[in-house]
Amino acid sequence: MTHRLTLEPAYILHRRPYSNTSYIIDFFTRHHGRLSAIARSARGPKSRYQGKLELFVPMLISYSGRFDLKNLGEVEFYQAPINLDGDALMCGFYLNELLHKLLQRDDPHVNLFDAYEKCLKKLNGLEERESALRIFEKKLLQECGYGLEWSKEAKTALPICAEKHYQYHADQGFLEASSSTEHFSVISGHTLLGLANDLLIDAQQLKEAKRLMRILLAGLLEDKVIFSRGLF
């Protein structure tokens, strides 16, 4: 059966040349998750896609096809492009690489799509960028089935205390640790509560949350390398 979809909200995650004139494009769509489509004759100077197939552009796409690789139809913009420069652009590449490598095809993630769009719009703000990245990573883990209990200690189910320290255990969650324990997986309760509330406001929280997310994502990525991390 041929599948047809019209005017689906989407962003481009990655594109690569195909044959002499076309592209294969990986999209992140709002209602259908990650999918791939051929944009035929997209690379010519008179292409109907001229200037439309760029990263970080909120677009509406139409496509059809029977198999994993669809045929791209019309493309329209529904908002202005999100212009990213410098470190913000590198962070955008990082988000795209995470989604490209961690999401399964044709697996809807409506909430994650909205979180991605929200995060992109915050990347140009220096004070907001680090917090936005960590919160997005947290939501990505949840969508991939790796959500954690951020506000309760794993063994006792007691509320996380901001003044205490906790250690992440892969098979359990966060267990209370001595403040003198020196280990890369130890994190303050202050930071855990910030993650629980999607509110990271100080340097300590941002530093600890970044280290923790690296640990959590490593377990999900396994042997996949995120090359864009080396760019910023």
Would you state the CATH architecture of domain 86-231? Up-down Bundle (1.20)
Q: What is the pLDDT of residue 36?
A: 96
Output the CA–CA distances (angstroms, integers) from residue 184 to 48, 155, 211, in the order listed: 51, 20, 8
Residues 104-115 have pLDDT tens digits of 999 999 999 999
**CB-neighbour burial class of residue 20 (10 A; exposed 0-12, middle 13-18, buried 19+):** exposed
Tell me the fold of 3-77.
OB fold (Dihydrolipoamide Acetyltransferase, E2P) (2.40.50)
Domain positions in the chain are 3-77, 86-231
Per-residue model confidence (pLDDT) at position 180: 63
Backbone angles phi and psi of 177, in degrees to 5: -125, 160
Calpha distance 182→215 (Å, rounded): 16
pLDDT tens-digit readout, 54-64: 999 999 999 99
**Residue 135, pLDDT above cutoff 90:** yes
Whether the per-residue pLDDT at 232 is higher than 80: the answer is no
pTM assigned to the model: 0.93
